[in-house]
A and B are shown apart, each in its own frame.
Chain A
Amino acid sequence: EPEVTQTPSHQVTQMGQEVILRCVPISNHLYFYWYRQILGQKVEFLVSFYNNEISEKSEIFDDQFSVERPDGSNFTLKIRSTKLEDSAMYFCASKRETGKRELFFGEGSRLTVL
């Protein structure tokens, strides 16, 4: 069964460094998402992406964040200058169709900012 895959599974970085989290969505899916889960807190929406552009983003997704689909398969989340409070689990998800359908999640990338 096809799955959403994410790399790395865990990344440790120094505050102020740039981080890129990578996701390979399911191949025939059209909608892509990033969610964040700070330890002990809820899953928070960051951004959705469709047709090579951001379709919706939350207040969390400020100028330090960006997303890209550079090659038709990878979907990346870049954090330009990491802060301590960026430490979280970042989940990528994808969805096949428009409207109310199931999201398929990756296993997450744990980011630790020191």
Chain B
Amino acid sequence: AQRVTQPEKLLSVFKGAPVELKCNYSYSGSPELFWYVQYSRQRLQLLLRHISRESIKGFTADLNKGETSFHLKKPFAQEEDSAMYYCALSGGETGNQFYFGTGTSLTVIP
């Protein structure tokens, strides 16, 4: 079975502090991992994916296959980072199935 776990429902950090949103997954094949973000009253939108190995809005995430983790990190949090963050896994037989974690609500305190 495929599963994505985000252990923290809520996370608060001060502006300028480092932030790490945790994501662990279980999957029997080779998954593709994503982070989606949902700002207040907006749609879910892609933040980054592990294949791209890119940094978006200062966020990075490294896929650690040994620990089956895909934690999202940013060295200096900004107020505009306050949002809901979802870790997602793409897999299944056709690769067309997406599984979402329960989400972490990040609040950056000014």
Are the C-beta atoms of A56 and B92 separated by less than 8 Å? Answer: yes
Are the C-beta atoms of B49 and A43 separated by less than 8 Å? Answer: no
A residues 61-114 near B (Cβ < 8 Å) are 91, 93, 95, 98-108
Alpha-carbon separation in the docked complex, A93 to B43 (Å)? 10
Range for the number of chain B residues in contact with chain A: 20 to 34
Task: List the A residue with the shortest CB-CB distance to B102.
Answer: A42
Alpha-carbon separation in the docked complex, A87 to B101 (Å)? 20
B42 CB within 8 Å of chain A: yes
Alpha-carbon separation in the docked complex, A54 to B31 (Å)? 22
Interface size on A, residues (CB 8 A): 27
Known: A42-B101, A43-B103, A102-B49. A95 touches B96 (CB 8 A): yes
Residues of A contacting B86 with CB < 8 Å?
A: 42-43
Residues of B contacting A50 with CB < 8 Å?
A: 96
Shortest B40–chain A CB gap in Å is 12
Residues of B contacting A45 with CB < 8 Å?
A: 97-100
12 A–B contacts, CB within 8 A, in A order:
A4-B43, A42-B103, A43-B44, A45-B97, A45-B98, A55-B94, A56-B96, A91-B44, A99-B96, A102-B34, A105-B36, A105-B45
Instruction: Spell out B's residues near A (CB within 8 Å).
Output: 31-32, 34, 36, 42-46, 49, 51, 86, 88, 90-92, 94-103
Instruction: Spell out A's residues near B (CB within 8 Å).
Output: 4, 31, 33, 35, 41-45, 48, 50, 55-56, 91, 93, 95, 98-108
